[in-house]
Amino acid sequence: IGYSQLQESAVFPAWSAAAASGLWLCAGAEAGVVLRQEARRARPFGPAAAVNLLGAQRSPHLKAAGDAMTAVIETWQRGLLRPGVANPRYLDWEGTPRSLAAFARVSLEVAEEGMASVVWPVLDDLITVSLSGARMLPGTADVAEALADLAPEALAAVSTGVAESNVLAVPGLRALAARGGSSRAVVAARAVVKGLATGLPGRLPG
């Protein structure tokens, strides 16, 4: 995977996820243009392309940052980025997700643009992936805390009928909350789970 593949992705935005497999490599000044062109594809993003579109927001070039976020917004507005599609197992195309703390940060930024329904399930899936290994992945606590920040919006969406109640299932977060110990990740998860059960936003200690 190289820059030539990024060029192909920009020239042929209607191509499948194969052309988008270099999305995570978007780090230069041209990244914003590439990502915005991706937002013009004909079909909705699949699990891999969707999560890497989000992942590309973690460390864009200074000159590309604005267009990179605009690409996400345009993809959402065009119905190409759909809730429940992005799969974190494809993040960076490496098998094991990395830079979880940065992903949590940009997920909150994406949520502020009206796409909380997109990042909420991805963050929970990230925790599931983290718990599947021998040790939790670095940044898992940041992911749990991002879910804590988004919990009020999730509760409001369910209570007003905007979202189905299964949005609050968050199996990854609940599995983390059920773990022993008092690590930062576990404490955050327990606070959110408690808040979801009571219908009140979970508050983190401190």
Dig out the tokens for 102 from the structure. 């940065």
pTM (2 d.p.)? 0.82
pLDDT of 46 strictly over 70: yes
Q: Considering Cα of 63, then 68, then 73, then 78, what sign does the dihedral take?
A: positive
Higher pLDDT, 200 or 182: 182
Work out the average pLDDT over 79-87: 94
3-state secondary structure of 101: helix
